[in-house]
């Protein structure tokens, strides 16, 4: 009987009504769609060069892979989330979502040419504002930038910051260098200055193999490897002293998973105790820094079906503030509406759904 109840419970989630969805993906716009939002030089040369006919879909996030398109959300086009109607009907209404943050995963973020990347990111942000945020009051946006050129990224952040429907800055997890490095600091300063958390989302530029032993043969292998990339990024941000340099910075890891956090904390803290001399600016242990500055979106929940294990893991993390509700629509991370497993319990669920996002996103809190 207990078995059956447990099995039933795992199929039912807690209510998500009134929640703030911190990771929702409208389908990335075709390059042609962005032409009206580009200046004359780019419009002209893109047409001349045939760039407007190119899809900038990313290998790290293949648009048709089953994990990226839940089968019941798949449109005739084979993609998902490509119309506002679909997003309302599939992502907002059924979950009772009060607000959702749109994270557009666009290849603009990884182009090699600094200027082209910046131009396309700017166009994509403008597109999001005009064609999504203007039309649906429940939606909020992330300012996408290419981390490769900090100066241009900062310019875009400053440009977009005046529109308060943009609530965070978005970059991808894998770049040229680990994100703690000083070349990226101006981006963090600009984000913090404008009360915008920095969201680091799964995916990347393939400037390097996703693993230290080379290129995985299979997408599933690469996807799993993302967790290691996130761990490296987390430690880089901490070790390089980003949070000492920019104490107001909040970072959100999106689609990173979080059940690896306890072992990360244990190992990072232990190592730090032994090698403190190398990084004298770190006057407290890494786990405390992370708990203060870093948040994690809920999906994917990489845990066994046994709800006890998930509950224990949450205990190990020992930080009720750390998780932010997300559906990761239209990625296939859960079945039906079961986005919030019962293991969280009602109290924690409310924090995850509402309080933690409000505490993380000042611009959303101002609206609420």
> 121-125: which pairs have CB atoms within 8 A and are 24 or more residues apart?
121/145, 121/146, 121/156, 122/37, 122/156, 122/159, 123/34, 123/37, 123/38, 123/42, 124/28, 124/29, 124/34, 124/37, 125/156, 125/160, 125/166
Rule CB under 8 A: is residue 214 a binding residue for another protein? yes
Radius of gyration of the chain (CA): 20
CA distances from 330 to 102, 157, 202, 205, 284 (A): 12, 27, 15, 22, 39
Comparing C-alpha atoms, which of 367, 361, 365 is closest to residue 199?
361
Q: Residues 96-135: x/- map of binding to another protein (CB under 8 A)?
A: -----------x--xxxxx-x-------------------
Rule CB under 8 A: is residue 207 a binding residue for another protein? yes
Q: How many CB atoms lie within 10 A of CB 120?
A: 27
Rule CB under 8 A: is residue 205 a binding residue for another protein? yes
CB of 209 to another protein, least distance (A): 7
Rule CB under 8 A: is residue 228 a binding residue for another protein? no
CB of 269 to another protein, least distance (A): 21
Question: How many residues sit close enough to another protein to count as binding (CB under 8 A)?
Answer: 48
CA distances from 245 to 186, 188, 239, 255, 280 (A): 11, 9, 11, 26, 13
CB of 58 to another protein, least distance (A): 6
Cβ atoms of residues 27 and 85 within 8 Å: no
Segment interacting with another protein (CB under 8 A) among 158-166, 212-220, 292-300, 315-323: 212-220
Rule CB under 8 A: is residue 48 a binding residue for another protein? yes
Comparing C-alpha atoms, which of 368, 18, 363, 338 is closest to residue 167?
363
Rule CB under 8 A: is residue 51 a binding residue for another protein? yes
User: Residues 11, 49, 276, 316: which binds another protein (CB under 8 A)?
Assistant: 49
Looking from the CA of 22 toward its CB, the CA atoms found within 13 Å total: 36
Comparing C-alpha atoms, which of 190, 148, 139, 152 is closest to residue 171?
148
Cβ proximity to another protein: between 181 and 193 the closer is 181
Rule CB under 8 A: is residue 39 a binding residue for another protein? no
Within residues 286-325, the interface with another protein by CB under 8 A covers none
Cβ proximity to another protein: between 51 and 75 the closer is 51
Within residues 76-95, the interface with another protein by CB under 8 A covers 78
Cβ proximity to another protein: between 83 and 211 the closer is 211
Cβ atoms of residues 114 and 85 within 8 Å: no
Q: Residues 266-285: x/- map of binding to another protein (CB under 8 A)?
A: -----------xx-------
Q: Which chain residues interact with another protein by CB under 8 A? A: 41, 45, 48-51, 53-60, 62-66, 78, 107, 110-114, 116, 149, 151, 176-177, 181-183, 204-207, 209, 214-219, 222, 277-278
């Amino acid at each position: 009987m207990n078995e059956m109840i447990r099995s039933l419970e795992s199929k039912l989630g807690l209510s998500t009504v009134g929640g703030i969805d911190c990771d929702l993906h409208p389908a990335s716009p075709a390059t042609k769609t962005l032409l009206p939002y580009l200046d004359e030089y780019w419009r002209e040369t893109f047409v001349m060069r045939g760039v407007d006919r190119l899809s900038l879909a990313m290998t790290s996030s293949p648009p048709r892979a089953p994990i990226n398109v839940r089968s019941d959300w798949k449109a005739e086009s084979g993609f998902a989330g490509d119309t506002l109607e679909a997003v309302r009907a599939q992502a907002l209404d059924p979950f009772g979502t009060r607000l959702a943050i749109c994270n557009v995963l666009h290849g603009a973020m990884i182009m090699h040419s600094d200027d082209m990347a910046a131009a396309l990111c700017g166009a994509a942000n403008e597109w999001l504002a005009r064609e999504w945020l203007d039309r649906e009051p429940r939606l909020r946006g992330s300012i996408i930038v290419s981390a490769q050129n900090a100066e241009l990224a900062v310019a875009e952040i400053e440009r977009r910051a005046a529109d308060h429907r943009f609530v965070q800055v978005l970059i991808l997890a894998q770049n040229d260098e680990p994100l703690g490095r000083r070349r990226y600091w101006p981006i963090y300063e600009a984000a913090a200055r404008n009360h915008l958390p920095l969201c680091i989302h799964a995916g990347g530029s393939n400037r390097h193999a996703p693993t230290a032993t080379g290129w995985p043969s299979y997408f599933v292998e690469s996807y799993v490897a993302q967790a290691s990339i996130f761990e490296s990024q987390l430690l880089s941000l901490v070790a390089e002293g980003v949070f000492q340099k920019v104490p107001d910075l909040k970072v959100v890891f999106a689609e990173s998973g979080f059940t690896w956090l306890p072992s990360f904390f244990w190992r990072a803290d232990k190592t730090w105790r032994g090698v403190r001399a190398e990084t004298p600016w770190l006057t407290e242990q890494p786990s405390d820094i992370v708990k203060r500055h870093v948040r994690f979106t809920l999906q994917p929940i990489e845990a066994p079906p046994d709800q006890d294990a998930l509950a224990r893991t949450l205990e190990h993390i020992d930080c009720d503030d750390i998780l932010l509700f997300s559906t990761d629509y239209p990625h296939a991370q859960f079945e039906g509406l079961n986005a919030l497993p019962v293991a969280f319990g009602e109290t924690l669920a409310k924090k995850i759904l509402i309080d933690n996002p409000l505490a993380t996103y000042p611009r959303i809190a101002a609206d609420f």
